[in-house]
Amino acid sequence: MIERTIDKKGQILLVPDIEVNTWWTNLGWTDEAIMDAYHVHGESEQYHSELKADMDVERLPSGKFETNELVLELALIAYNILRMIGQESLKHKQADKRLVKRRRIRIVLSNLIQFASHITEHARKIFMGMGCSNTWRYAFHSVWQRFAC
């Protein structure tokens, strides 16, 4: 139960606003099990939202089922690869100081995939320069070592 005496704009309410969250079910579960299932459902909705918004598959490209099925399968493969990269980058604390359990796909794309660098070829070797100001360079290096080598 939540009782609010001030609204979101800072206006003091004459009569308090009371909000009550209730769940009705006939499953026969305990209260804790029902709340856990509710939170797990919310977490799965976040993954679904990431897939749609961050991977840009909100609108499918074709009216043909087979084409859309292929697009979704390719998006799912890319999504799983990006999730693996994000989970691996969590092992490096230098890039992001906050304590997080997972990285959003948008963060992985912007900070570990689409960043400025420059490629140099010298003495039959290829070097990638990321610059000293890129705080994600150590996380990128560890992900590269984990998956490429």
For residue 10, CA distances in Å to 2, 15, 107, 128 come to 17, 14, 33, 52
Structure tokens at 118: 């420059």
* Residue 93: predicted pLDDT: 67
What pLDDT score was predicted for residue 52?
Answer: 86
Q: Which of 133, 141, 132 is closest to 112 using CA atoms?
A: 141
Interacting residues of 99 by C-beta distance below 8 A, sequence separation 6+: none
> Hey, which residues does 6 pair with through a beta bridge?
12
* Residue found by looking up tokens 């890319």 in the block: 78
| Contacts (Cβ under 8 Å, ≥6 apart) of 123 | none
Element (H, E) at 16: strand 12-19
Going from the first residue of the chain to its last (149 residues), give the mean pLDDT of each consecutive group of 10, the final group possibly shorter.
91 92 85 88 85 87 93 93 88 67 85 88 91 84 85
Q: In Å, how far from its chain's centre is CA 55? A: 11
pLDDT of residue 123: 94
**Model's pTM, two decimal places?**
0.67
How distant, in Å, are the alpha carbons of 53, 75, 97 from that of 58?
6, 11, 32
Residue-level pLDDT at 78 = 93
| pLDDT score of 15 | 94
pLDDT of residue 96: 60
Q: What is the pLDDT of residue 100?
A: 73
Assigned token pair, 79: 């999504």
| Dihedral sign computed on CA atoms, order 26, 28, 30, 34 | negative
**What three-state secondary structure class fits 137?**
helix
